[in-house]
A and B are shown apart, each in its own frame.
Chain A
Amino acid sequence: MARWGMLINLRECVGCYACTVACQIENGTPPGVLLAPVYQREEGHYPRVRRTFVPALCFHCDDPPCLKACPTGAISKREDGIVLVNEDVCCGSRACLAACPYGAMNFYEAEEPWPGPLSGFLDRRHQVGTALKCTFCAHRIDAGNPTPACVETCPTHCRIFGDLDDPDSEISIKRRDLHAFPPRAEAGTEPRVWYAR
């Protein structure tokens, strides 16, 4: 059984948001719900200031605080480490949103039309009043294609997805070579998405 994880190389992200859009298309997320956002950050001091981009998603923690907070047990962790929300069980308490240190949980509050020419488009794959999150494109993995849409779309190959248990996988090699680190390690959630600078 593979143990899926992701490495995000911040040096290579150019902030094109292709991953964000690819995720929205792949997963049919409603307006306002971003399962693969790209954050911006200003670093340095004038006059040496630069803007960096920080792609994010659910970090599929080994000790997921969302799972512990959810009162209905709608959040589960698969054997391969992917954390999923069962929308048929979620009661919309939003306890998972308050618990996640990474802003990975989204809430589908109400049906809203997409703006402009997309106004007629409404994907009804998701239930209003429930929590949504990145699934590492588990439906693709289950179909034999272990490449999430965000990874497949990224033009700079800054997102690397693979089996953390395989020492020869690209993700394992780059995690070592690039001295990758987990975000907010002090939170103790043991995330499976690491960053490299």
Chain B
Amino acid sequence: MANGNAWNRHLDLSAKRQTVWGAAHATEFFALGLGGALVANAVFFGAGWGNGDAHRPAYALGIAAVAVGGLVLIADLGKPLRFWRTIANLRHSWISWGVVADGVFLLGACLLWLLNGPAWLGWLTGVAALYVIAYPGFALAASRAIRFWNTPLVPLEFLASGMAVAAALTAWLAPSIAVFRLAAVAFGLGVVLVGLHVVGGYLEAGVARQSARELVRDPRFGAAVLAGMAVPGAVALAASLGSPVAASVWLLAAVLAAGGNWLSKYLLLHVGYYEPFL
């Protein structure tokens, strides 16, 4: 973005598309969602892979993804060297708590990966992982400026879609009926939540309806829902009901789910509009 803000480009008082957050933030949100969900799925549902119950490779991949997400965030700051200050507003800011959760997650997951630590550490890291997945959604949902984001559905969507992608990846690497069921439930929830969000936007007046309409008319949104959620969800449902699914199909489902997840987050940011204040 250039100097100023979205309002100052054209000095007419109309709905303005937000220009603050874009592809870099979608990448960050995707990476945090995938990384956090790999660990959360392993801790809470035993849906990981590796030697026995240790799930060390899942933890390693989760750590790498969250680290990448964090680095993308830092690189996008106007003053990257002041990154450490982002934990200063714990009283109000979802992002401050998110940065704390990132730190707890990275430390805890590293200990689990290296030492296979005690159960309480697994639970602590799992709780931090859930917040790592959801906090970008909380930050968006808290915005009273952009009505389409201003709903508690957003963090729930982030949770469901992150856990779905991680479960699809796990289903490819370590297939089991429990993982298939987890993937089927997560994809199903993701589709329902996205549907509720879009319908809710349509039912609102003003810019939320404009956002919902633009989202539905964008063919990329259809691709993200169909190829990124519905198709992998159908594969997971079939597998959980006992149908044999080849590893290559699971790989394709995981790739589609990952692409759809990134795209849906990017489009959610893209259709964010500020309402005229008068």
- Which positions in A face B, CB cutoff 8 Å? 30-34, 37-41, 54, 56, 65, 67-74, 89-95, 97-103, 105-110, 112, 127-131, 183-184, 187-189, 195
Contact = CB atoms under 8 A, between A and B. Distances in A.
B115 interface: no
A90 B78 contact: yes
B113 interface: no
B252 interface: no
A33 B253 CA distance: 46
A183 B3 CA distance: 25
Given A32-B2, A71-B99, A107-B78, A93 B144 contact: no
B3 A106 contact: yes
Interface string B88-113: 11001101100100000000000000
Q: What 9 A-B pairs come out closest when comparing CB atoms? A: A92-B78, A129-B78, A103-B7, A32-B3, A68-B92, A91-B82, A32-B4, A71-B95, A72-B85
A69 B79 contact: no
Contacts of B3: 30-33, 106-110, 112
B127 interface: no
Given A89-B88, A91-B80, A97-B5, 9 more contacts: A71-B86, A71-B96, A72-B88, A89-B82, A99-B144, A101-B275, A102-B145, A102-B277, A129-B77
Interface centre among B2, B7, B80, B142 (most CB of A within 10 A): B7
A158 B13 CA distance: 19
B5 A41 contact: no
Given A65-B145, A69-B142, A71-B93, A38 B79 contact: no
B13 A69 contact: no
B203 interface: no
A15 B274 CA distance: 23
Interface stretch (B16-24, B32-40, B44-52, B208-216): B16-24
A97 B19 CA distance: 9
A128 B78 contact: yes
Interface in B93-145: 93, 95-96, 99, 139-140, 142-145
18 contacts: A31-B3, A37-B8, A41-B13, A71-B96, A74-B85, A91-B80, A92-B82, A93-B78, A98-B140, A101-B144, A101-B274, A105-B5, A106-B5, A107-B1, A109-B78, A129-B78, A130-B79, A131-B78
Contact of B18 (A31, A67, A98, A130): A98
A101 B277 contact: yes
What band does the interface of chain B fall in when counting residues whose beta carbon is under 8 Å from A? 35 or more
A68 to B, nearest CB: 4
A30 B4 CA distance: 9
A47 B259 CA distance: 50
B74 to A, nearest CB: 9
A71 B85 CA distance: 8
A69 B93 CA distance: 5
A98 B145 contact: yes
A94 B21 contact: yes
Given A90-B79, A95-B95, A68 B274 contact: no
A47 to B, nearest CB: 21
A128 B4 CA distance: 12
Contacts of A131: 78
Contacts of B82: 72, 89-92
B4 A107 contact: yes
Nearest to B78: A92
